[in-house]
Structure 1
């Protein structure tokens, strides 16, 4: 038998921790002296104590520790997997919060990020259609441009769809920083950039694009852009995936003015009265404003589009196998003849 001090040294726990685990019923001593109250532990308890130490080091709540130590391997795996997912979500949220704080700080000097001119113009062409045309929120008529050493990200949303395009910088100096640029002004700047092999996006007192000794202004806008990262983190895992021809689906939507039903079946997608070949697992029925979904398809790249559907009332992610750096979220509408809200 080992005294509490000797056992604590052997298993890497403190005596106070062992007393606490005894009080909680997680690790009771093998024997307690009835006269002195001293706790004693056996060799058979070493493995449990070491496992307990590892679980606590991993941040597993004490309420779950017993389930892992005393439950079946299947139960232990389920509990630990859920804990790992919680930690990942907390880490992502903390990283996003820190990133937002860093981007909100005024830069110590100009932030300059160099990208390909045609690539920037292409990214603008893809995200601008998702910006609002009018409405009471001027920030929705803008594109958020985020500058960092690892990537340049362009984001636009009108609350019915969200477009995100990422570019890999050729070079970066300073940062991070962000610009809120009216979509029309950004389209004009993109036309200027498309004729230059490389351009430098400069954030500072006078934001602009620079190339070949010339500068094109990037007028800023006031307002707070929606917290799109929270929207992306809150996405539910897709239940259905539909892979079909992008142009064919776009053409099937053309000319429709009312909501259109997409009926996903086994290896086919029925759009109104048009049946398209598809790789999918159905059944699921979901409806869209054809103008909104059509614009998202138009902004895509490549012959195919992948629709990731979590539920008929959840945002749908539209992706392209040819360009993983571009993602569009499209909000569905109520199914015909039905209030589709949860």
Structure 2
């Protein structure tokens, strides 16, 4: 038998924590002296105490601790998986909130992000078609470039389509920064970057450029605020249908169709504007698209297959490539004919 102080040292808990866990009924002492009230613990309780310490270090609520300590292994495993999922969601939400706060602060100095030149050029080619060609909102004629240690992101939208491409930088130095670059200027910069193995995006106060050795290419910046695209991504929800189909076959069916172009999801096949295509899917679902919007989204994909994630006929459809998870396009359906 060990006194509460000796047992606390052996299991890495404090005497006050042991008293608290006794009061809560999750770790009672083996014996309590009826005259002095001193608590004593046995060696057999060490394993439970160490496990309890680990659960608390992992942030498991005390109400759930008993399930792990006294329940079945299956119940404990299910609870810990659920707790891990909650922690990931909280961490992601906190990270996104901090990133938003950092972006809102005035920059304290320049930022430098080093990327593969051909990779940057490829990302520009995929994202730029989603930028608006004209219209009253000048920000929509630009591409948003987000620079951060966690990654570089290119975003463009014309309100009917949203394209997002993630790039993993070779190195980043400086605080997060957002650049709003007119699409034509970014196309010129991408043509310059594609011939360089590596390029560095250097952004200071009110100016930015691409650097490769002694060569530079300007990145003109536009004024304004890019739309809050993250809210659109967060509001997507769980898709009701997932459709896996040959990307080029679907693109050809879109190109050959008229507007509005109708997609009927059936059991393991699609009626794609009157063309039947084999697919991995489960219907029924029926949507209509503007071919001028859906076609370029399919053309910008990579690989033989495309995955469509459908939530509803009046919600954006997510277009993903199995061969390039870093590129995502959202396409807005139109009204049924």
Instruction: Write the distance in 1 (CA, Å) between the matches of 2:219 and 2:276.
Output: 45
Instruction: Write the distance in 2 (CA, Å) between the matches of 1:79 and 1:112.
Output: 41
Change in 2 beyond 3 A, CA 1:211/1:332 = same
1:284-334, Cα deviation, whole Å (9 max, x unpaired): 525242333223112223332222446666654322244343222334567
**Residue 257 of structure 1: CA displacement?**
2.0
1:249 aligns with 2:281: no
1:340 aligned residue: none
Change in 2 beyond 3 A, CA 1:183/1:42 = same
1:225-281, Cα deviation, whole Å (9 max, x unpaired): 345456556665667543322121122223332362331423x22224221122x14
1:163-202 equivalences in 2 (<5 Å): 163-167=163-167, 174=174, 176-191=176-191, 200-202=200-202
Change in 2 beyond 3 A, CA 1:196/1:53 = closer
Change in 2 beyond 3 A, CA 1:174/1:44 = closer
2:226 aligned residue: 225
Change in 2 beyond 3 A, CA 1:310/1:6 = farther
Change in 2 beyond 3 A, CA 1:265/1:18 = same
Q: Secondary structure at the match of 1:265?
A: coil
Aligned Cα root-mean-square deviation (Å):
3.4
1:262 aligns with 2:264: yes
Q: Secondary structure at the match of 2:60?
A: coil
1:108 aligned residue: 109
1:1-342 equivalences in 2 (<5 Å): 1-103=1-103, 104-109=105-110, 111=112, 113=114, 115-116=116-117, 119-133=119-133, 137-148=137-148, 151-167=151-167, 174=174, 176-191=176-191, 200-204=200-204, 205-209=206-210, 216-229=217-230, 232=233, 236=237, 240-254=241-255, 255-258=257-260, 260-266=262-268, 268-278=269-279, 280-291=280-291, 292-309=293-310, 315-332=316-333, 336=336
> Are 2:239 and 2:309, in contact at CA under 8 Å, matched by a contact in 1?
yes
> Are 1:247 and 1:303, in contact at CA under 8 Å, matched by a contact in 2?
yes
Unaligned runs of 5+ in 1: 338-342
1:159-208, Cα deviation, whole Å (9 max, x unpaired): 44321223455676655433111334433444555577765533224323
Unaligned runs of 5+ in 2: none
> Are 1:286 and 1:332, in contact at CA under 8 Å, matched by a contact in 2?
no
TM-score of the two chains, using structure 2 as the length reference: 0.81
Change in 2 beyond 3 A, CA 1:49/1:200 = closer
**Residue 55 of structure 1: CA displacement?**
0.4
Change in 2 beyond 3 A, CA 1:47/1:153 = same
State which drifts further: 221-230 or 177-186. Answer: 221-230
Name the count of aligned residue pairs: 333
> Are 2:112 and 2:200, in contact at CA under 8 Å, matched by a contact in 1?
no
TM-score of the two chains, using structure 1 as the length reference: 0.80
> Are 1:288 and 1:331, in contact at CA under 8 Å, matched by a contact in 2?
no
Q: Secondary structure at the match of 2:76?
A: helix
**Residue 143 of structure 1: CA displacement?**
1.0
Change in 2 beyond 3 A, CA 1:71/1:170 = closer
